[in-house]
């Protein structure tokens, strides 16, 4: 990338951050310093209220690494040796959870669905009734393969009714969609620093129902990704991390949390993201593009669009043409259709989306693709 171009990242994370978030990383901290550890404690105190819950019934713990580190760390730390997970797979990230379970030697069953099909709570209820060995259910809230949103609350009810433990991967939705963890019924919810809260990459976090989490001591299948041990360290030592933490990223995340408050909290941010998404969909349809996922199942986080039918269209020239105009989008990840993806989260506003739409029209002309281009190429 040309460092002189102020790129706008239209992705599900990392994403465009404010200048003030970036500037907080100019200060160095020592990991043993009480002032630094107090920042960690402030972050932890702020997370549960964002999920509509409070301490001491719920608690939080931070862990170095990407969101996938947290998914792996949590699944590997809270499922007992004789436990079994039911994993919903309707996209690349559900499939990744199944791979994690396989690598860690966790007994599991996979509910395989189409990438454009939301999880069915009744199917999950039937699976739980049929297999008494299942102790945990793991679901991705917003499957960023496509932008599909799974019905987290409805799933939580059937999991609760069956007396099982519910793990929700909310990596790309937490902070950008209003949610109450107790109403969803999630015992464990994970998200990361560089998505809807608009921090920078470097760590992710777990929100846990404390009584359930406290029963997981000794289950961890990893040393460095032992979530219970990390939590105990932070609880006992005033926010200290067990191993070297991403100090600059932690400070940036706290600034991002404070800026979320200034914006008006999750409700205000969710409304902005929704307006970004409405603007994008209307404009892309006008250009002739069609979304992969049905409107009723589509999140406001990221949207997958079919390639146009024009044979002149290939993704890489289109991507580069947009990048020259400062817009960075995502390639497709769907396995069943040729798509690309555009995110509508981050420090991005409807006027930015309108500029993107104009740039898309220009980019199509540059690569020789005519508009309208409505028919998808499967």
pLDDT tens digits for 228-255?
A: 999 999 999 999 999 999 999 999 999 9
Report the distance separating Cα 308 and Cα 351, nearest Å.
25
d(CA 264, CA 175): 12
Last residue of a domain, one of 200, 231, 262: 262
The CATH number for 211's domain is 3.40.640.10
Q: Reduce the DSSP state of residue 116 to 3 states and report it.
A: coil
Q: How far is CA 102 from CA 110, 138, 190, 366, in A?
A: 11, 14, 20, 46
| Torsion sign, CA atoms 295, 296, 298, 304 | negative
Region of 219 (left: φ > 0; alpha: ψ -120 to 50; beta: rest) is alpha
User: 290 and 200, same structural domain?
Assistant: no
pLDDT in tens, 338-359: 999 999 999 999 999 999 999 9
Block residue for tokens 């043409």: 321
| 138: phi then psi, degrees, rounded to nearest 5 | -120, 125
Pair (220, 327) in one structural domain:
no
pLDDT for residue 204 is more than 90 = yes
Q: Is the pLDDT of residue 179 over 70?
A: yes
Do 116 and 243 belong together in one domain?
yes
Question: Is a pLDDT exceeding 70 seen at residue 378?
Answer: no
Question: For residue 269, what are the domain limits?
Answer: 8-13+265-366
The answer to whether residue 92 sits within a structural domain is yes
Indicate if 116 and 212 belong to the same structural domain.
yes
Are the C-beta atoms of residues 170 and 189 closer than 8 Å to each other?
yes
How far does the chain reach from its first CA to its final CA, in angstroms?
A: 31
Is residue 58 helix, strand or coil? Answer: strand
Phi, psi of 140 (to 5 degrees): -90, 125
Spatial distance between the Cα atoms of 67 and 78, rounded to a whole number of angstroms: 16
The residue whose two tokens read 């499957």 is 143
Q: How far apart are CA 304 and CA 290, in angstroms?
A: 9
pLDDT at position 377 is: 44
Identify whether residues 219 and 236 lie together within a single domain: yes
- Count of structural domains within the chain: 2
Mean of all residue pLDDT scores within the chain: 95
pLDDT at residue 372 greater than cutoff 80 = no
d(CA 133, CA 255): 44
Instruction: Say whether both 47 and 123 belong to one domain.
Output: yes
Question: Does residue 120 form part of some domain?
Answer: yes
Query: Residue 105: inside a domain, yes or no?
Result: yes
If asked whether residues 208 and 280 sit together in one domain, one would say: no
Nearest residue to 204 (alpha-carbon basis) of 260, 249, 235: 249
Mean pLDDT, residues 22-42: 94
* pLDDT 10s digits, 109-167: 999 999 999 999 999 999 999 999 999 999 999 999 999 999 999 999 999 999 999 99
**Residues 294 and 347 placed together within one structural domain of the fold:** yes
Joined together, the tokens standing for residue 60 give 């939080």
Measured in residues, the chain has a length of 378
- Considering all CA atoms of the chain, what is the largest pairwise distance in Å, rounded to the nearest integer? 63
Q: Is 373 inside a domain boundary?
A: no
Q: How high is the pLDDT of residue 336? A: 80
Same domain, 274 and 195: no
Predicted confidence at residue 371, as pLDDT, reads 66
Domain boundary among the residues 236, 262, 288 is at 262
Residue 136 placed within a domain: yes
Domain boundary among 216, 247, 262: 262
Q: What is the CATH number of the domain that holds 320?
A: 3.90.1150.10
Give the per-residue pLDDT at 1.
47
- Burial label for 82, CB within 10 Å (0-12, 13-18, 19+), is exposed
Chain-centre distance of CA 174, in angstroms? 7
Residue 145 belongs to some domain of the structure: yes
User: Is 35 inside any structural domain?
Assistant: yes
Residues 32 and 162 in one domain: yes
Does residue 245 lie in a domain region? Answer: yes
Token couple for 200: 């920078």
Q: Please state whether the peptide bond connecting residue 372 to the residue before it is cis, i.e. omega within 30 degrees of 0.
A: yes
Task: Tell me what the mean pLDDT of segment 259-264 comes to.
Answer: 98
Q: In terms of DSSP bridges, do strands 148-149 and 142-143 run parallel, antiparallel, or are they unpaired?
A: antiparallel
Write out the two tokens for 220.
Answer: 């961890």
Whether residue 173 sits in one domain with residue 275: no
Cα 163 to Cα 158: distance, rounded to the nearest angstrom: 9
Q: Is the pLDDT of residue 48 over 50?
A: yes
| Phi, psi of 360, deg, nearest 5 | -65, -45
Model pTM score: 0.94
Residues 218 and 335 reside in one and the same domain: no
CA 177 to chain centre: 11
């Amino acid at each position: 990338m040309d460092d002189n171009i102020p790129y706008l990242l239209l992705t599900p994370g990392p994403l465009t951050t404010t200048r003030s978030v970036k500037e907080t990383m100019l200060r160095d901290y020592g990991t043993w310093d009480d002032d630094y550890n107090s920042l960690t404690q402030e972050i932890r105190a702020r997370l549960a209220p964002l999920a509509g819950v409070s301490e001491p019934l719920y608690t939080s713990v931070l862990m170095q690494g990407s969101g996938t580190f947290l998914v792996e760390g949590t699944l590997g730390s809270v499922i007992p040796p004789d436990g079994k997970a039911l994993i919903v797979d309707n996209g690349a990230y559900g499939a990744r959870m199944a791979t994690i379970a396989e690598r860690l030697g966790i007994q599991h069953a996979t509910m395989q669905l189409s990438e454009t099909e939301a999880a069915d709570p009744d199917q999950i209820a039937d699976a739980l009734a049929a297999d008494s060995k299942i102790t945990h259910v793991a679901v991705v809230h917003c499957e960023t393969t496509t932008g599909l949103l799974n019905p987290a609350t409805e799933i939580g009810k059937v999991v609760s009714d069956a007396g099982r433990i519910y793990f929700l991967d909310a990596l790309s939705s937490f902070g950008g969609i209003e949610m109450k963890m107790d109403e969803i019924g999630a015992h464990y919810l994970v998200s990361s620093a560089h998505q809807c809260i608009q921090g920078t990459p470097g760590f992710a976090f777990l929100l846990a129902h404390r009584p359930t989490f406290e029963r997981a001591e000794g289950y961890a299948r990893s040393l460095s990704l032992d979530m219970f041990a990390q939590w105990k360290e932070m609880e006992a030592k005033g926010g200290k991390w067990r191993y070297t933490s991403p100090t600059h990223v932690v400070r940036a995340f706290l600034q991002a949390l404070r800026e979320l408050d200034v914006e008006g909290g999750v409700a205000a941010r969710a409304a902005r993201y929704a307006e970004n998404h409405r603007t994008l969909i209307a404009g892309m349809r006008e250009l002739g593009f069609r979304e992969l996922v049905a409107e009723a199942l589509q999140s406001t986080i990221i949207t997958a669009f079919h390639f146009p039918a024009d044979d002149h269209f290939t993704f890489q020239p289109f991507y580069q043409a947009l990048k020259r105009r400062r817009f960075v989008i995502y390639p497709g990840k769907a396995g069943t259709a040729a798509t690309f993806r555009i995110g509508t989260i981050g420090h991005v506003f409807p006027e930015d989306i309108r500029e993107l739409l104009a740039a898309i029209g220009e980019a199509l002309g540059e690569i020789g693709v005519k508009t309208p281009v409505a028919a998808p190429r499967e």
